[in-house]
Amino acid sequence: MSENAELTNFIDSWQNDPLGAKQFFLECKDTLDASPDALYDFVSRPAISYSIRAKHKNQKERPGFGAIDVIDDDPDNRWVSVCFYADLVTDPDGLGDWVPDGFHGEDAMCFNMDEYDPRLKRYILDRLNEALRAAANSR
């Protein structure tokens, strides 16, 4: 997919990972890479976040459907927040956070992996796949 040198350098340089966030970030990236319809950009803001901004190739009006953010306020203890337009995902188990106007000025649903939880990891990856499918028919 849209791999670039900056993303590769970020992944390669990420050494400390007590929460397993790097592996989760890579699984999210791999999910996008597995879809021929997913596009993404990498946005680097050291000491703030490192983000994959995901888009479905059919989207025309919105800048994407989701963001996978590595929160970098403590580089030795990074965690991942995955956010989507709220109308593209469900949250059947109520594990997400509703964020009014939180994604490009529209309501968002965000899921935080701030401690290792295999059930939550699977749940968020399911939401990522759901958002990718929904984005195929969204604006």
- pLDDT digit of tens for each residue in the chain (139 aa)? 445 899 999 999 999 999 999 999 999 999 999 999 999 999 999 999 999 999 999 998 899 999 999 999 999 999 999 999 999 999 999 999 999 999 999 999 999 999 889 999 999 999 999 999 999 887 6
**Rg, the chain, Cα only:** 14
pTM: 0.93
Q: How many domains would you assign to the chain? A: 1
Structural domain of residue 17, as residue ranges? 5-135
Residue pair 103/85 in contact (Cβ under 8 Å)? The answer is yes
